[in-house]
Amino acid sequence: MVERARPNRSRRPGGKPAKAPPTPQKPKVDPVRLAALRALQQVTGDGAYANLVGPSMINRHGLTGRDAALATELINGTCRAIGTYELIIEAAARRDTRELDPDVVDVLCLGVHQLVATRIPAHAAISTSVDLARSVVGERVTGLVNAVLRKVSMRDLDAWLDLLTEDVDPTEALAIRTFHPRWIVDGYADVLPADELEPALRANNVAPSPVLVARPGLSTVDELVAEGAVAEGPSPYQATWQGNPGDLAMIRDGRAGVQDGGSQLVALALARAEAPPAGRWLDLCAGPGGKTSLLTGLAREVGASVVAVEPSTHRALLVAQAVAAHPAASVTVIQADGTEPAWRFGSFTRVLADVPCSGLGSLRRRPESRWRRHPDDVSDLTELQTTLLYGAIDALRHGGIVAYVTCSPLRAETDDVVATVVAERSDVEVVPATRLLPEVSDAASGDRRVRGAVQLWPHRHGTDAMYLALLRRR
């Protein structure tokens, strides 16, 4: 079953933890494959994020241009489909991948990706994988790697998928074919029309171009366009960029940022909602600071200031860096826990509660997350999410607005949390958020308990699957 294939080799029964990089590089080892393998080892063995460790390894191995692009594709593509790739390996090897050395499994997964999902010739994919196995694990495993990958090369991806899905039910087959664990497919099916399920899952496999945000009061979309960006997307502050955003001076000095259009829209909806005209705004779960900076710019336009709260020291520093270009009087960053308020109740007119969540709405950007998460994680998170939403409401003045936000489409983390809190508190009412975002159509969550809540989707809106519900304290 796909559920058991997740990128954390250190948890495998009988497996060994991934070897710590770096090891001496042998002359025959291709630096592109070596960089990709080292990144994959950190993802599967140490819980690293591909979007962070990938660029780091690429820089460490001095890759540029086409080599850097290939390494990025090998890392992200393998992480995205690793559960299905392990099933292919097991079918070809006729043994459970948990019986193999974790480093061998990583080498094989990289090889499978090259064979079934790229135009790399089979002989090159196999020979470079054998060299990689020899260098990283030892001569003893080269025969196994060569034999398994030769069997894999005898079928294309469609043929392998047909083989793997012969004797499974339709939902399991869809999970295998779209590179998702079964439980995520079930969660999507719970909130989407049947004809949108497969398009939504496949949209998670298409990496988006970098999305930029022009921070109000600091820059404009026209300025980004003048630098070569393209003004497109649902947010009025949004532009897309081809290449490294760090090449732009406006990104380096903090006048603009990298932020998904969905994240921009939820902050914009909070700013547009009717609330008491004067007073401070609160960003309850601020790290790493992208929404905080946008919210600060929007608050400055109406003469308000923002208090940004983050419990982690490292992430609080990231928030401070994200808002550094704004005037100091317009935003205050404090290190505190939103479940233990460091402020008096009723202190704020608007509160953004972008709560910790499973992150299953951002699978386009974090391809390994689908295999790392587990249904029990969601159960643990919903208690925290409910607590934070209660605290956000308590922080409001009467008439104030809280935006409950998650980067997840799962009902348990979205409508269920909001409906529970609304049912238990007589002092709050739902404010239709859909009316405040005319930029997006067909964005209602569809749950009658929380009328007017917004659920964005990659396949519909070109954004991450962000959820937004607005609540007013009566």
Active site residue: 109, 285, 357, 407, which one? 407
Length of the chain: 474
Question: Which tokens is 411 given?
Answer: 């009902």
Looking at the DSSP bridge assignments, the partners of residue 402 are 351, 471
pLDDT in the model for residue 446: 85
Instruction: Give the closest residue to 357 by CA, choosing from 327, 376, 381.
Output: 381
Instruction: Give the closest residue to 342 by CA, choosing from 410, 395, 297, 273.
Output: 395
DSSP 337-362: -TTS-SS-TT-EEEEEEE-----TT-
Active site annotation includes 357: no
Instruction: Give the closest residue to 175 by CA, choosing from 166, 190, 165, 167.
Output: 165
Q: Which residues of the chain have pLDDT under 50?
A: 1-6, 11-18, 23-25, 27
Buried b (16+ CB within 10 A) or exposed e, 46-64: eebbbbebbbebbeebebe
C-alpha–C-alpha distance, residues 393 and 351, integer Å: 8
User: In Å, how far are 272, 294, 350, 391, 398 from 305, measured between CA atoms?
Assistant: 15, 12, 11, 20, 18
| Neighbour tally for 314: CB within 10 Å | 9
Instruction: Give the closest residue to 114 by CA, choosing from 65, 152, 62, 164.
Output: 152
Beta strands in 186-305 (DSSP E): 211-214, 238-240, 256-258, 280-283
For residue 209, give the 3-state DSSP assignment.
coil
pLDDT in the model for residue 9: 59
List strands edge to edge, sheet with 256-258. 238-240, 211-214, 256-258
The residue assigned the tokens 């917004």 is 454
Q: What type of residue sits at position 144? A: L
* 353-404 residue pLDDT tens: 999 999 999 999 999 999 999 999 998 999 999 999 999 999 999 999 999 9
Q: What type of residue sits at position 352? A: L
Distance of CA 50 to the CA centre of its chain: 10
Q: Name the burial class of residue 226, with classes exposed (0-12), middle (13-18) and buried (19+) by CB atoms within 10 angstroms of its CB.
A: exposed
Q: Where are the domains of the chain?
A: 2-174, 211-258, 272-473
Planar angle of CA 163, 458, 226, nearest 5 degrees: 130
**Based on C-alpha coordinates, what's the Rg of the chain?**
23
C-alpha–C-alpha distance, residues 321 and 425, integer Å: 37
* 337-346 residue pLDDT tens: 999 988 999 9
pLDDT in the model for residue 424: 96
Q: Looking at domain 272-473, what is its CATH homologous superfamily?
A: Vaccinia Virus protein VP39 (3.40.50.150)
C-alpha–C-alpha distance, residues 393 and 383, integer Å: 16
| 2-174, CATH topology level | N-utilizing Substance Protein B Homolog; Chain A (1.10.940)
DSSP symbol at 230? B
The answer to whether the CB of 217 falls within 8 A of the CB of 300 is yes
The answer to whether the CB of 175 falls within 8 A of the CB of 185 is yes
Buried b (16+ CB within 10 A) or exposed e, 297-312: bbbbeeebbbbbbbbe
| Neighbour tally for 154: CB within 10 Å | 11
